[in-house]
Amino acid sequence: MAGTGKNEEVLKESFMTKRSQNKRAFTHPNWKERWFVLSPENLIYYDGDKQSGRRKERGRVKLSEVVAVECVDTEVFHRDWVFQLCYSSEENEQIVLYIAAATSQERDQWLDHLRRLVAQNPCLSDHYHNGCIKGNQWTCCKGGKEVAACTRVTWTNNNPVGQPTPSPTPDARSEMMPGTPGGRFKPPERQRKVVVALYDYNAIDPGDIPLRKHEEFEVIEDTQEYWWKMKNLQTGVEGFAPSNYVREKETIGLHQYDWYLGDATRQRAEVFLMQQEREGCFVVRNSTTNSGIYTLSLFSKRSHPQVKHYHIKKDSEGNYYLSHNIKCQTIPDLIFRHQHNPAGLPVRLRPPTHGRHAPTIPGPHPDKWEIDPNELNLLEELGSGQFGVVRHGKLRNLDVAVKMMKEGTMSENDFIEEAQVMTKLRHPNLVQLYGVCSMYRPIYIVTEYLKNGSLLNYLRSKDKVLINNNEVLLDMCLQVCEGMAYLERQKFIHRDLAARNCLVGAHGEIKVGDFGLARHVVDDEYTGSGGAKFPIKWAAPEVLNFMRFSSKSDVWAYGVLMWEVFSCGKMPYGKAKNTEVVEMVVQKGCVLDKPRFCPDNVYNVMRRCWDRTPEMRPAFNDIIRIFQDE
């Protein structure tokens, strides 16, 4: 088939997000996931997903037309690791393709590869725009669409043959590569990467170093995704620390402030502020509806405790303001002024006493999932479930939960193998598996500890404050959905999603737990759909009929979980016996009724999760989008 690129040599490929090119002015720019494939001549992008790889070609850029390969100011899109490819179209129009990589490493690799391939382009430019067009002007220089690029490129190739010598740049990377015939390109030296700690971290392992907020570190080794070797720039001490606790100094922007919540949703900000309950307490976050716009969320008890949201506006000179009497060049300045003068806001601003909470530590040790039981200090019992007793514990100074597997409930070897896979699953809305103790019996499963226990108990114990608090309840559903969307992308089926298997952290964060365990259960009370412990009330018809599990049967269970959340922990189908439920669901096609205070649009989402045809149910990613549009 012509033009599919199937026969082209593949130099590099990965799944990244691309900004729509917005060729028509009236379409709202959005970001789409695509398979990117780099061949010696083209960068081609396809429809597709992580597992099945590439499908239909969606577009391509001829590398010979590329004029610049550069990063983009992170504030522009509120996305990390965005880079841009500027090129000229066949009509000789200048076009910019913005691509977001998943990690800094991935972005740097793409930059490196692309630059090598375009190094000889006669059309390479020595300037670019490090922003994007918004309205009719560039966010970086405020110039109109046609204005010349404003920022000097960070990387240059030597003067290409037949071109006038460009003005010399102080950039050392424009040197000739010695001894390489015809090779004018010298790969960029690995730039010194300096990062700033966003949170405190207490060293867990002997090879670790502690981090104190605002301290600076040089990254010495970042070959492992989650544990980087760093050197404290003040003390010179070297060791490992979690990469999600630091941020590159160059792109730190608002992230250095405790009151900045980044991409947190409106619901998240409300929950955060309601918990602090301080008059004037505020956070700033990226607007969910308008990229590039910030929202101030403010708590006040004036009439009754509530959180209000204000867009931070920008005037024609680029000054930020909340009310016309105070205008500032930067958001931190604006916040500072409003801490002293309410000027149009109901109260003066007061920063939160405890800022964003630190993310979960990505496991105690790089690639060490077998944990020595001598390093575990077991504390009180947290509860007991199907698989055995769960106890609170300390792994050195890290809080953990230790699940002691009842002997004979699991096919142990399968489980241990699977545990290796599970330690690699990492998402803020999944209970992090730290490792296992499999040398002795019973086997221990060691996970992160979540202070507020199971979501089901949490809903039941707080039903008085939660019922009808739809923002908070929807936020819970959204968090579970984010975790599930990640599992879906990883092609990992949960099989036992329910409120009892989700946990609630100290700050109200919700995490999905017990994923994948169900498959290793040998107890036939649990595994067969006729068994007493089988989660029939959460099971889709195709599971009840044929034991056919899929991400779509997880979606069905998710609908039931939404129902549990909006009814604050009621038992689905009330006292109905399992056999009656099977009859209702399989034969009669009944579904759960709308919980009393549940809004119609939320119930509609549940109904879509309970479509009898699995393929008709929305994917978790679709559900996130539906929620965000609410």
Six token digits for residue 169 = 């740049």
Q: Is 281 helix (H, G, I), strand (E, B) or coil?
A: strand
Residue 128 is given by DSSP the state E
Annotated active-site residue in 208, 496, 514, 611: 496
Measured CA to CA, the distance from residue 244 to residue 258 in angstroms comes to 16
Least distance from ligand ADP to the Cβ atom of residue 454, Å: 4
At residue 580, what is the residue type? E
Nearer to Mg ion, 108 or 514 (CB): 514
Identify which range of 85-93, 387-395, 435-443, 577-585 contacts ligand ADP by CB under 6 A: 387-395
Q: What is the DSSP string of 288-348?
A: SSSTT-EEEEEEE-SSSSEEEEEEEEE-TTS-EEEETTEEESSHHHHHHHHHH--TTSSS-
| Interface pick for ligand ADP out of 387, 558, 603, 610 (rule CB under 6 A) | 387
* Binding of residue 482 to ligand ADP (CB under 6 A): no
Q: What is the DSSP string of 38-94?
A: E-SSEEEEEEEETTTEEEEEEEEEEGGGEEEEEE--HHHHT-SSEEEEEEE-TT--E
* Binding of residue 445 to ligand ADP (CB under 6 A): no
88, 94 in Cβ contact below 8 A?
Answer: yes
Could you say which residues in the range 519-538 bind ligand ADP, by CB under 6 A?
none
Least distance from Mg ion to the Cβ atom of residue 391, Å: 14
* Binding of residue 366 to Mg ion (CB under 5 A): no
* Binding of residue 270 to Mg ion (CB under 5 A): no
* 263 Cβ contact list (under 8 Å, min separation 6): 78, 285, 286
* Binding of residue 453 to Mg ion (CB under 5 A): no
Nearer to ligand ADP, 331 or 390 (CB): 390
Q: What is the DSSP string of 142-177?
A: --BTTSPP-EE-S------TTSPPPPP-S-GGGSPP
Q: Which partner, ligand ADP, Mg ion, none, binds residue 327 by CB below 5 to 8 Å per kind? A: none
* Binding of residue 564 to Mg ion (CB under 5 A): no
* Binding of residue 453 to ligand ADP (CB under 6 A): yes
* Binding of residue 385 to Mg ion (CB under 5 A): yes
Cis peptide leading into 359, omega within 30 of 0? Answer: no
Nearer to ligand ADP, 285 or 500 (CB): 500
| Interface pick for ligand ADP out of 390, 437, 539, 581 (rule CB under 6 A) | 390
* Binding of residue 449 to ligand ADP (CB under 6 A): yes
In whole angstroms, how far apart are CA 87 and each of 41, 66, 113, 118, 123? 13, 4, 16, 11, 9
Please report how the helices 620-629 and 600-609 are oriented relative to each other, as an axis angle in degrees rounded to 10.
170
* Binding of residue 292 to Mg ion (CB under 5 A): no
* Binding of residue 430 to ligand ADP (CB under 6 A): no
Closest C-alpha to 552, from 561, 543, 544:
543
* Binding of residue 447 to ligand ADP (CB under 6 A): yes
For the question of residue 496 being annotated catalytic, the response is: yes
Q: Which partner, Mg ion, ligand ADP, none, binds residue 476 by CB below 5 to 8 Å per kind? A: none
* Strands 194-197 vs 151-152: parallel, antiparallel or unpaired: unpaired
Least distance from ligand ADP to the Cβ atom of residue 426, Å: 15
Q: Which partner, ligand ADP, Mg ion, none, binds residue 188 by CB below 5 to 8 Å per kind? A: none
Q: What are 340's strand-pairing partners? A: none
In whole angstroms, how far apart are CA 145 and each of 115, 140, 292, 532, 629? 25, 12, 18, 67, 30
| Interface pick for Mg ion out of 158, 243, 501, 553 (rule CB under 5 A) | 501
Q: Which partner, ligand ADP, Mg ion, none, binds residue 84 by CB below 5 to 8 Å per kind? A: none
* Binding of residue 401 to ligand ADP (CB under 6 A): yes
* Binding of residue 444 to ligand ADP (CB under 6 A): no
Q: Which partner, ligand ADP, Mg ion, none, binds residue 408 by CB below 5 to 8 Å per kind? A: none
Six token digits for residue 135 = 């309205």
Active site residues per annotation: 496
Chain contacts with Mg ion (rule: CB under 5 A): 385, 501, 514
Site for ligand ADP, rule CB under 6 A: 382-388, 390, 401, 431, 447, 449-450, 453-454, 500-501, 503, 513-514
